[in-house]
Structure 1
Amino acid sequence: MSVLVLGSINMDLVAVAPRFPRPGETLRGQRFFTAAGGKGANQAVAAARLGAPTRMVGRVGNDVFGPALRQALMEAGVEVSGVEVDPETSSGIAVIVVEESGQNAIVVIPGANGRVGGAELARLERWLPEARVLLLQLEIPLEVVVQAAERAARAGVSVILNPAPAMALPEEIYRWCTWLTPNEVEAESLVGFPLREDQAIEEAARVLVGKGCAHVVITLGERGCVYADRGGVRWVPAYSVPVVDTVAAGDAFNGALAVALWEGRSVEEALRWANAAGAISVTRYGAQPSMPNRDELMAFLAQHVETHRAPGS
């Protein structure tokens, strides 16, 4: 059984600067690098590095970045026979500015990701019988995500939807999602009220469970996350680490969550894994380069076992 990922594949063009430029301002940066990215690909790499057999479904463009993006996935241990080369468009691109605090601003050009459709759904359906978990995000067409979630749920596969970037979702998708993992901004867009206080965050988690999701996790960066199911709401603290780059921290979180669930671990342990993977990733630059491997995650968890315990553990 495997972890199956349907989603975006991007090349990230990253500029590190002392701060974000103001409108109309030219700012001298500190360094530049390229790194394979895209939320789907990042989550696939995160899952593969943590030891789960992982298959990626998506597409890249017919340009200089396409072969490099496929190669990066293969080097991480991801099976890429489901990644098509689209001869009619460019690969997806993300232009990222990272400031010294580690915060980032991103502009995404979808490219081939915007053309994911029926061919990818057909490949996905063929591989669902061998999958235990399906990871989805929103950097490919929304109607494709909805169809994929429904087909996976009907096949008995657990669906994790990371609803990023933030957008409104059709009501029917909630009942197909086993797990919904928005960050604070994304959760606010889904529930339609501001999440400025802890009580509002908890209420948002309850609302999303009420829409049909079995499990909801609202990620809150350095504050950890809020978990909700039909039994109630719990806060899970984050790990304290030095932050250099928050790009793809959420992808590390989701990839680790998928692997822990694929292994049949408890909710509490799965959330510890996810928080730990996210914490490790923010101590490193880049998207896929920041994803921890299995040994790194286990060492981190062992180091923090006495100082970080989720509620109920």
Structure 2
Amino acid sequence: MREELDLIVYGSLNMDYVGYVEKLPSVGETVASKNFSIGPGGKAANQAVAASKLNANVAMVGRIGKDQIGEEMKAELRKEGVDDENIYYTSDSKTGIAMISVNPKGENMIVTHVGANALLSKKDIDSAEKKLRQAQGAVLQLEMEKDVAEHIIQKVSNQGKKVILNLAPIVSLEKYVLGLVDLLIVNESEATYLAGIEVESIESAKEAVTIIRNLGIDNVVITLGSMGAVLENESTTEFYAAPIVDVVDSTAAGDCFVAAVSLFWIRTGDLAHSVKNAVNVATLSVTKRGAQVSLPTLEEYEKFLKEKISN
């Protein structure tokens, strides 16, 4: 690995157990899966791999159990070029898993068992400080204890690095900690929680993004699934439409977006351009099944862009 890092990613590693169903189950209903797959996932691991596939130099900090699943997770990260030096073992809990159902529209329902992810500690974060110093920016989600997430945000900010927060799942962070975030990325439900209004359209997202930015965050993005994303900062409030594709599986699309916008912003300094490209990268990811296996390489994305332009 090179000494310099584009990104350091903090958070969860899960093994995904995915059933492809004709319809998502309602309460008390059993549905049969015609196809089934097992593969590495977890929000942070997905984001680290997505960035690496886009040619980032990226390190990850997280926890796994001392079990076969954990070994497979580490091996997959190494294969994808992610620095796994600060992925720690724990004998107190098993590696996290996610049970996912996906319907023909690519929509999903997910149940996770956090397992070893819940044991990520402030000490773990401090032990990885060398990697933070080498990085240009840091990405985190909230599949961890609240105090650990707040410790990460404060530590990254104190080092003068960009703090990129994906507020998923929803956790009520202290207001002064939110104010340290350089880029906040939320989906419709997370934006609804933060803004206090229902976010279900481009218009309501534009209203919500202003409310959220007034919490003291310089740059806010609301992702709108297959529609695209809305960005607001001091320069602009803009909607970026997603290209139309045949959706197969949206499981890791949000993670793909977070990784792409983070990397492009670190590399170019142009957030608007980065959001536009991240929408396209995430859209490409939904055309394949699975989590990490669906994440596009930079070469695949460049090919996709050429085909989109030619059409």
Per-residue deviation, residues 270-309 of structure 1 (Å, max 9, x unmatched): 11221111111111111111111110112222333477xx
CA distance in 2, matches of 1:261, 1:22: 40
CA distance in 1, matches of 2:284, 2:131: 31
Please show how residues 26-45 of structure 1 align to structure 2 within 5 Å: 26-45=30-49
Deviation for aligned residue 1:164: 0.8
- C-alpha change, 1:271 and 1:197, in structure 2 (3 Å) is closer
| Equivalent position to 2:92, from 88, 91, 101 | 88
| Gaps in structure 1 of 5+ consecutive residues | 308-313
Is 1:122 equivalent to 2:126 in the alignment?
Answer: yes
Q: Tell me the equivalent position of 1:304.
A: 308
Please show how residues 104-123 of structure 1 align to structure 2 within 5 Å: 104-123=108-127
Does the 8 Å contact 2:136/2:162 carry over to 1? yes
Q: Tell me the equivalent position of 2:299.
A: 295
Please show how residues 76-225 of structure 1 align to structure 2 within 5 Å: 76-225=80-229
Larger displacement relative to structure 2 (57-66 or 263-272): 263-272
Deviation for aligned residue 1:145: 1.1
SS in 1 for 2:173: coil
Larger displacement relative to structure 2 (260-269 or 70-79): 260-269
Larger displacement relative to structure 2 (272-281 or 197-206): 197-206
Larger displacement relative to structure 2 (271-280 or 121-130): 121-130
Matched AA of 1:92? G
SS in 2 for 1:30: strand
Please show how residues 9-20 of structure 1 align to structure 2 within 5 Å: 9-20=13-24
CA distance in 1, matches of 2:126, 2:166: 22
Is 1:57 equivalent to 2:61 in the alignment?
Answer: yes
CA distance in 2, matches of 1:79, 1:44: 9
Percent of pairs identical after alignment?
34
- C-alpha change, 1:305 and 1:217, in structure 2 (3 Å) is farther
- C-alpha change, 1:285 and 1:163, in structure 2 (3 Å) is same
SS in 2 for 1:82: strand
CA distance in 2, matches of 1:174, 1:30: 43
Does the 8 Å contact 2:232/2:238 carry over to 1? yes
Note the aligned Cα RMSD (angstroms).
1.5
Deviation for aligned residue 1:152: 0.7
Deviation for aligned residue 1:139: 0.8
- C-alpha change, 1:213 and 1:302, in structure 2 (3 Å) is farther
SS in 2 for 1:181: strand
Matched AA of 1:227? L
Is 1:251 equivalent to 2:255 in the alignment?
Answer: yes
Per-residue deviation, residues 77-96 of structure 1 (Å, max 9, x unmatched): 00000001111110011110
SS in 2 for 1:77: coil
Deviation for aligned residue 1:175: 1.4
Deviation for aligned residue 1:203: 1.9
Q: Tell me the equivalent position of 1:310.
A: none
CA distance in 2, matches of 1:191, 1:159: 21
Larger displacement relative to structure 2 (58-67 or 122-131): 122-131
**Runs of 4+ in structure 1 over 6 Å off:** none
CA distance in 2, matches of 1:22, 1:210: 38
Deviation for aligned residue 1:169: 2.8
Deviation for aligned residue 1:24: 2.3
Does the 8 Å contact 1:5/1:43 carry over to 2? yes
SS in 2 for 1:138: coil
TM-score (ref. length: structure 1): 0.94
CA distance in 2, matches of 1:172, 1:69: 35
- C-alpha change, 1:38 and 1:220, in structure 2 (3 Å) is same
Does the 8 Å contact 2:188/2:200 carry over to 1? no
Deviation for aligned residue 1:231: 3.0
Does the 8 Å contact 1:104/1:247 carry over to 2? yes
Does the 8 Å contact 1:168/1:189 carry over to 2? no
CA distance in 1, matches of 2:91, 2:289: 31
Does the 8 Å contact 1:273/1:297 carry over to 2? no
Matched AA of 1:274? A
CA distance in 2, matches of 1:258, 1:142: 22
Per-residue deviation, residues 77-118 of structure 1 (Å, max 9, x unmatched): 000000011111100111101111110000011000001012
CA distance in 1, matches of 2:207, 2:31: 41
SS in 2 for 1:284: coil
